[in-house]
Amino acid sequence: MLIRKPDDIPSSEITPESMYVNRRNFISTVAAGAAAALVPGTAAACQAGGPGREQEEPNSYDDITTYNNFYEFGLNKDDPSKHAGSLVTHPWTVKIDGHVAKPATYALEDLLKPHTLEDRVYRLRCVEAWSMVIPWRGFELGKLIERVQPTSRAKYVAFETLYRPAQMPGQRSPVLDWPYDEGLRLDEAMHPLALLVTGLYGKDLPNQNGAPLRLVVPWKYGFKSIKSIVRISFVEDQPPTAWNKANAREYGFYSNVNPDVNHPRWSQRTERRLGELRRRRTQMFNGYGDQVAHLYDGMDLRKYY
């Protein structure tokens, strides 16, 4: 998929300055990181990392595709890569419904056609206190939202994963309330950082990473980045979300990465960046605070965890 040539891009689509500077760092990081696998056990000192503060090399393709939480394929980290092969991702449809001007069910190719795919390197921070740096390929969720024209009644965007126990063996046991669902407030969904993703390291998403279409919301815990999406609904009330249903005390709707609000059973103050020897101090909003903090002005993030 080609990046459009400069004269095709209207000024309204020019990336804001702050994002452009970050993206330049990220892309050179991808180029460097794609050439060499990350050396395991690098003895980095405990890092106070953040965007632009030091080069953050993406994790290896191997690590990203063999260490996954995707309970639809099993509960162990290596289960998705072992079992996700059974999932058939083509043909794939995505239903857009709820408070939108044009609800419709799209074939995936038709959903993607108007959008230019771009490469973005994001940190992903799991609620379990490990993290990776991943070069995603996708397009801004906000662009899709603009296209489908939500009405004034739409306050939240709800997402749903495929329900197909015949191909997703984990769905045969009620570990979570299948199908997996997630949601964002409309302004969060419109934020330029929120991506609908179809690829990884420039290749199509492997099944275990959420093929063929997933969400990536890098300032929130990883479980918000729902995989294998089949439905996007625009709703008035805060939608139910799988982990919140499973354990409301431990997993909130917002789930912004926040070192000051611990999980009831473990600390969120530090994280294990895969490939590094020393733990890192977790950054507020996973280091994306300068871009997203304004979304939560005046909100008590301890209450709205």
Partner 1 sequence: MTATTRMRWVIKPIVWTGCLVPAGILVVRALRDDLTANPIELLENWTGYTTLTLLMITLAVTPVRRLTGWNGVIKLRRLIGLFAFFYACIHFSIYLGIDLFFAWDLIAEDIAERPYITAGFTALLLLIPLAATSTKGSIRRLGKRWQKLHRLVYVAAGVGVLHFYWKVKADTSEPLLFAGILVVLLLLRANVVRQSARRIRDRLRLVPAE
The least distance separating partner 1 from the CB of residue 80, rounded to whole angstroms, comes to: 12
- Contact between 175 and partner 1 per CB under 8 A: yes
Q: Which one of the spans 127-135, 141-149, 151-159, 290-298 is the region binding partner 1 (CB under 8 A)?
A: 127-135
Indicate the residue among 59 and 198 with the shorter CB distance to partner 1. 59
Contacts of 247 (CB under 8 A, 6+ apart): none
The least distance separating partner 1 from the CB of residue 63, rounded to whole angstroms, comes to: 4
Among 14, 31, 107, 266, binds partner 1 (CB under 8 A): 266
Q: Which one of the spans 2-10, 15-23, 161-169, 262-270 is the region binding partner 1 (CB under 8 A)?
A: 262-270
Number of residues that bind partner 1 (CB under 8 A): 32
Q: Which one of the spans 40-48, 104-112, 156-164, 204-212 is the region binding partner 1 (CB under 8 A)?
A: 40-48
Per-residue contact flags (x/-) with partner 1 for residues 130 to 169, judged by CB under 8 A: x-x-------------------------------------
63-82: contacts with partner 1 (CB under 8 A): 63-64, 66-67, 71, 75-78
DSSP the chain: -PPPPGGGS-GGGSPPHHHHHHHHHHHHHHHHHHHSPPPTTB-PPPP---TTTS--PPPPHHHHHHS---GGG-SSTTHHHHHGGG---SS-EEEEEESBSS-EEEEHHHHHTTSPPEEEEEEEE-TTSEEEEEEEEEEEHHHHHHHH-B-TT--EEEEEE---TTT-GGGGSTTS-SSPEEEEEHHHHHSTT-EEEEEETTEEPPGGGTTT-EEE-TTBBGGGS--SEEEEEEESSPPP-HHHHH-TTT--SS-B--TTS--SSS--SEEEETTBSS-EEPPGGGGTHHHHGGGGTT--TTT--
Per-residue contact flags (x/-) with partner 1 for residues 81 to 100, judged by CB under 8 A: --------------------
Indicate the residue among 18 and 42 with the shorter CB distance to partner 1. 42
Query: Footprint of partner 1 on this chain (CB under 8 A)?
Result: 40-41, 46, 59, 62-64, 66-67, 71, 75-78, 127-128, 130, 132, 175-176, 246, 265-267, 269-270, 272, 274-275, 277-279
